[in-house]
């Protein structure tokens, strides 16, 4: 069996893994740094659905795996506030998290990110939006956004791949880490799907949501302490751009939080895509969940804005598998729609009846997800989630009238698996020595900028230990 020795082994080439490798190799060019990634190199990441409109169920999925992880084909919205996208402020403190976010932002800029920032210099308009939000019992979270755009984001990550290779980081693609090796309470290396054993002084798990299930199983096997996390379940809403015009122009991404009257559940808006497209994202096992993105170039712009409405569910003892809960709901929608995404008009959602092809064809609003199947979300979501979504839509309508129109489209299921928070200290060390966990897969972050910043700071902790 082939073996190899490196100084730092990073599992996963998402933004967390990339920025960790970047910082390590810049500060210590003498280190042997290796990233093992189960997906493809960025130039080989091609999603057939993007040209044919049909998903052929690639394994592994090119949308979520490969260099740049879930970031490669994302909308590339970089949240510049530590209030958004993860728990770095809780772990490192607000000021330290802010500084790290600024530093990772500088790296994106140096690789060609758009210099404009949305959500600043519009104080009067934002005050007006906040006033309407308060009137509707919604909380407006302010977060400046740098928008890379899907195609520009892809180019930036392509340059980063080239840069890391030039600097001597070893990138091993199409290879899954199957097992983390532990001796006397310390991680010593990993076994990969091609039969190689790679020994490392330090291991960083940066596996993203795609690898969260695998990492949870590893945690159980090797005794890494975790605590149950949150699962966010809901729908992607699609409306005409006109309905969202004021929010889009002044904030780009309006982050609004509501606590519902009936159940006091937290519902939030997430990932707004002005003039964008609703998209299907596939998880391991072919589970189809809904997402959205927007292209920067005018050629690909649509007339519709989409955004997610997510209900946050926290579970208590004895339940320990929130990821499974979210998946079961998504599976129900998949089952009803032959593995595709379900779409329902808000009018039919309120009446509790299925949207039909005929009624959808009569709608003024044309769905941008062409293969979505008209259906009935009440056959998918528990009553509580249906009520939460309805109350949120009605509250949003007071801020941006038109959201609660009969023709508004609701696509299901959007689900974010932030499960399994790995217990880490401020150096992101797990309870197993020499093994650190970062990014979305550890339940620490849930966005590009915090995942990238997390990569930077874990690298600095490693460098300090090695100095």
Ligand X SMILES: Cc1cc2nc3c(=O)[nH]c(=O)nc-3n(C[C@H](O)[C@H](O)[C@H](O)COP(=O)(O)OP(=O)(O)OC[C@H]3O[C@@H](n4cnc5c(N)ncnc54)[C@H](O)[C@@H]3O)c2cc1C
Q: With binding defined as CB under 6 A, does residue 11 bind ligand X?
A: yes
Residue from 42, 47, 140, 177 in contact with ligand X (CB under 6 A): 177
φ, ψ for residue 359, nearest 5 deg:
-65, -35
**Cβ-based nearer residue to ligand X, 71 or 189:** 71
Q: Could you tell me how far CA 224 lies from the centroid of its own chain?
A: 24
**Cβ-based nearer residue to ligand X, 308 or 373:** 308
What is the rounded distance in angstroms from the CA atom of residue 160 to the CA atom of residue 156?
6
Closest distance of CB 37 from ligand X, Å: 5
For ligand X, what does the binding mask look like between residues 265 and 284, x meaning CB under 6 A? ------x---------x---
Q: With binding defined as CB under 6 A, does residue 447 bind ligand X?
A: yes
* Strand 145-147 versus strand 409-418 pairing type: unpaired
Query: In degrees, to the nearest 5, what angle opens at C-alpha 344 toward C-alphas 342 and 346?
Result: 150
φ, ψ for residue 2, nearest 5 deg:
-70, 140
Residue from 23, 37, 202, 429 in contact with ligand X (CB under 6 A): 37
Interactions with ligand X, residue window 289-318 (CB under 6 A): 291, 293
Q: Tokens 């949240």: give the residue.
A: 79
Closest distance of CB 15 from ligand X, Å: 4
Helix (H, G, I), strand (E, B) or coil at 412: strand
Closest distance of CB 418 from ligand X, Å: 10
Closest distance of CB 445 from ligand X, Å: 6
Contact (Cβ atoms closer than 8 angstroms) between residue 297 and residue 291: no
Burial class (CB in 10 A: 0-12, 13-18, 19+), 131: exposed
The terminus-to-terminus CA distance of the chain in angstroms comes to: 32
Q: With binding defined as CB under 6 A, does residue 443 bind ligand X?
A: no
What is the rounded distance in angstroms from the CA atom of residue 430 to the CA atom of residue 88?
16
| Closest listed residue to residue 143, CA positions, set 91, 86, 193, 66 | 86
Helix (H, G, I), strand (E, B) or coil at 40: coil
Residue from 160, 204, 247, 451 in contact with ligand X (CB under 6 A): 451
What is the rounded distance in angstroms from the CA atom of residue 400 to the CA atom of residue 242?
10
| Residue 288 Rama label (left phi>0; alpha psi -120 to 50; beta) | beta
For ligand X, what does the binding mask look like between residues 48 and 87, x meaning CB under 6 A? ----------------xxx--xxx--xxxx-x-----x--
Closest distance of CB 61 from ligand X, Å: 9
What is the rounded distance in angstroms from the CA atom of residue 166 to the CA atom of residue 169?
8
Q: Tokens 């797990």: give the residue.
A: 430
Q: With binding defined as CB under 6 A, does residue 214 bind ligand X?
A: yes
CB atoms within 10 A of CB 126: 18
Closest distance of CB 34 from ligand X, Å: 11
| Closest listed residue to residue 74, CA positions, set 15, 3, 161 | 15
Closest distance of CB 381 from ligand X, Å: 21
Q: With binding defined as CB under 6 A, does residue 340 bind ligand X?
A: no
Q: With binding defined as CB under 6 A, does residue 441 bind ligand X?
A: yes
Helix (H, G, I), strand (E, B) or coil at 456: helix
Residue from 47, 309, 446, 453 in contact with ligand X (CB under 6 A): 446
**Cβ-based nearer residue to ligand X, 172 or 201:** 172
Closest distance of CB 439 from ligand X, Å: 2
Closest distance of CB 228 from ligand X, Å: 19
For ligand X, what does the binding mask look like between residues 233 and 272, x meaning CB under 6 A? --------------------------------------x-
Contact (Cβ atoms closer than 8 angstroms) between residue 429 and residue 59: no
Q: Is the dihedral of CA 346, 269, 124, 104 positive or negative?
A: negative
Contact (Cβ atoms closer than 8 angstroms) between residue 342 and residue 372: yes
Helix (H, G, I), strand (E, B) or coil at 191: strand
Residue from 24, 38, 270, 459 in contact with ligand X (CB under 6 A): 38
Closest distance of CB 27 from ligand X, Å: 20
Closest distance of CB 23 from ligand X, Å: 14
Q: Which listed range, 106-114, 306-314, 444-452, 456-464, lies at the site for ligand X (CB under 6 A)? A: 444-452
Q: With binding defined as CB under 6 A, does residue 207 bind ligand X?
A: yes
For ligand X, what does the binding mask look like between residues 95 and 114, x meaning CB under 6 A? --------------------
- Contacts with ligand X by CB under 6 A lie at 11-17, 36-39, 64-66, 69-71, 74-77, 79, 85, 176-177, 206-211, 214, 271, 281, 291, 293, 439-441, 445-449, 451
């Amino acid at each position: 069996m082939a073996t190899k020795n490196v100084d730092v082994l990073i599992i996963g080439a998402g933004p967390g893994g990339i920025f960790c490798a970047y910082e390590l190799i810049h500060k210590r060019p003498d280190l042997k740094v290796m990233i093992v990634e189960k997906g493809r190199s960025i130039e080989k990441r091609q999603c057939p659905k993007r040209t044919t409109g049909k998903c052929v169920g690639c394994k592994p999925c090119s949308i979520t795996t490969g260099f740049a992880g879930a970031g490669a084909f994302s909308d590339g919205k970089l949240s510049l506030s530590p209030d958004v996208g993860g728990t770095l402020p809780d772990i490192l403190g607000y000021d330290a998290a802010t500084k790290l976010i600024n530093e990772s932002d500088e790296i994106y800029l140096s690789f060609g990110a758009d210099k404009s920032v949305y959500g600043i210099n519009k104080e009067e308009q934002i005050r007006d939006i906040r006033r309407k939000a308060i009137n509707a019992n919604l909380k407006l979270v302010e977060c400046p956004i740098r928008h890379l755009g899907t195609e520009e984001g892809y180019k930036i990550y392509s340059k980063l791949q080239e840069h890391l290779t030039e600097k001597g980081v070893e990138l091993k693609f199409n290879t899954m880490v199957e097992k983390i090796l532990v001796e006397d309470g310390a991680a010593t290396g990993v076994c990969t799907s091609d039969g190689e054993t790679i020994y490392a002084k330090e291991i960083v798990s940066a596996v993203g949501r795609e690898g969260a299930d695998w990492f949870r199983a590893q945690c159980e096997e090797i005794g890494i302490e975790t605590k149950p996390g949150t699962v966010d379940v809901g729908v992607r809403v699609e409306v005409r751009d006109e309905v969202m015009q004021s929010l889009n122009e002044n904030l780009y991404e309006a982050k609004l939080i509501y606590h519902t009257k009936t159940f006091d559940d937290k519902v939030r808006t997430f990932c707004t895509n002005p003039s964008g497209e609703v998209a299907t994202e596939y998880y391991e096992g072919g589970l189809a969940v809904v997402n959205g993105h927007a292209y920067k170039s005018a050629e690909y712009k649509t007339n519709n804005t989409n955004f997610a409405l997510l209900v946050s569910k926290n579970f208590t003892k004895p339940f320990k598998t929130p990821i499974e809960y979210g998946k079961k709901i998504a599976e129900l929608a998949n089952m009803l729609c032959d593995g595709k995404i379900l779409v329902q008009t808000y009018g039919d959602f309120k009446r509790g009846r299925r949207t039909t092809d005929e009624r959808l064809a009569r709608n003024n609003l044309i769905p941008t997800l062409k293969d979505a199947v008209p259906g009935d979300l009440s056959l998918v979501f528990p009553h509580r989630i249906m009520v939460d979504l309805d109350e949120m839509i009605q509250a949003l309508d007071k801020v941006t009238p038109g959201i609660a129109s009969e023709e508004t489209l609701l696509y299901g299921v959007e689900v974010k698996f932030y499960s399994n928070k790995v217990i880490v200290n401020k150096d992101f060390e797990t309870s197993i020595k020499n093994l650190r966990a970062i990014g979305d897969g550890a339940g620490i972050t849930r966005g590009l900028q915090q995942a990238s910043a997390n990569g930077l700071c874990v690298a600095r902790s490693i460098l300090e230990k090695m100095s």
